């Protein structure tokens, strides 16, 4: 079984949360027959890093406007401190974790989203052979949400989109978004245990799913379109969440083709 786990930056910001999730991921990766890849964000850490340096974070359509100055911060924060702190936690938990970004071996190729957004990239393909080589040899790839292209350009990529692209390229059997929310909610704040595309689009059109949740739903359906059979949006703050999901517990929201 191939499993791709996407971790939101909020869950990684506190050391205790990062260490707990690292132990849970390492335990799943140690199970026979399960090959795991992790993709992570770090938007909260990025905003704080820029603010400390007097750089205002500007957004358009929910995406961070990425100037050359912000690209430098993207490399230092996403592919640097956030990635390596997570790798170190996974190693401490007993996993042979390897830190990567989408730039490595052109793992994730992207194209510019728009002139307005600067160096924000839209993933166009994932060349997952590197993930197959590493997981097949017993390593745990940990991928930061930075991508590139064949001309050497560097792009800041939304972590949910990065996860969807990597899950499709990796031919994952499941994509699990571990988030700081309990799942997808309806207009009455009730958890929706399962969604299809029509229901997801209805939530977005009605303004119920906005911002980060809209981005997750759109990324989830891109993963489903790319061949991933099942996607789950689940509460990463709940202890044992990965093992519970893999055991069949109906937690969070599942999206299916």
| Residue 76 annotated to the active site | no
Active site residue 44: no
Residue 43: active-site member: yes
Please list, in sequence order, all residues whose beta carbon lies within 8 angstroms of the beta carbon of residue 52, skipping any fewer than 6 positions away: none
Question: What CA–CA distance (Å, rounded) separates 230 from 233?
Answer: 10
Estimate the crossing angle of helix 211-225 against helix 159-170, to 10 degrees: 10
Rg (CA), the chain: 17
Contact 10, 178 (CB under 8 A): no
Structure tokens at 25: 């991921």
**Of 2, 99, 102, 160, catalytic:** 160
Bridge-based pairing state of the strands 140-144 and 194-195: unpaired
Q: Could you confirm whether 160 is annotated as catalytic? A: yes
Catalytic: which of 8, 9, 99, 183? 9
Q: Give residue 88's Cα distance to chain centre.
A: 18
Whether residue 189 lies in the annotated active site: no
Question: Of the residues 216, 226, 236, 252, which is catalytic?
Answer: 216
The residue annotated as part of the active site, out of 8, 43, 80, 169, is 43
Catalytic residues: 6, 9, 43, 160, 216
């Amino acid at each position: 079984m191939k499993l791709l786990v996407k971790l939101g930056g909020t869950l990684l910001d506190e050391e205790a949360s990062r260490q707990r999730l690292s132990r849970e991921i390492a335990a799943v990766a140690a199970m026979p027959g399960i090959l795991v890849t992790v993709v992570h964000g770090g938007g909260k850490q990025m905003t704080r890093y820029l603010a400390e340096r007097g750089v205002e974070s500007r957004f358009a359509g929910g995406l961070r406007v990425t100037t050359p100055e912000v690209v430098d911060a993207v490399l230092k924060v996403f592919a640097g401190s956030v990635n390596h702190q997570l790798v170190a936690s996974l190693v401490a938990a007993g996993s042979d974790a390897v830190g990567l970004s989408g730039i490595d071996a052109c793992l994730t190729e992207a194209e510019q989203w728009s002139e307005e957004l600067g160096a924000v990239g839209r993933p166009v393909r994932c060349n997952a052979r590197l993930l197959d080589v590493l997981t097949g040899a017993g390593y745990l790839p940990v991928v930061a949400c930075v991508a590139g292209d064949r001309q050497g350009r560097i792009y800041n990529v939304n972590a949910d989109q990065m996860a969807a692209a990597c899950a499709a390229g990796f031919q994952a059997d499941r994509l699990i978004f571990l988030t700081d929310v309990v799942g997808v909610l309806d207009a009455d704040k009730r958890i929706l245990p399962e969604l299809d595309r029509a229901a997801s689009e209805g939530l977005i059109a009605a303004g119920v799913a906005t911002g980060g949740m809209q981005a997750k739903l759109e990324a989830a359906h891109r993963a489903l379109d790319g061949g991933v059979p099942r996607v789950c949006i689940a509460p990463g703050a709940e202890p044992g969440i990965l093992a519970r999901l893999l055991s069949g517990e109906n937690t969070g929201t599942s999206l299916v083709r």
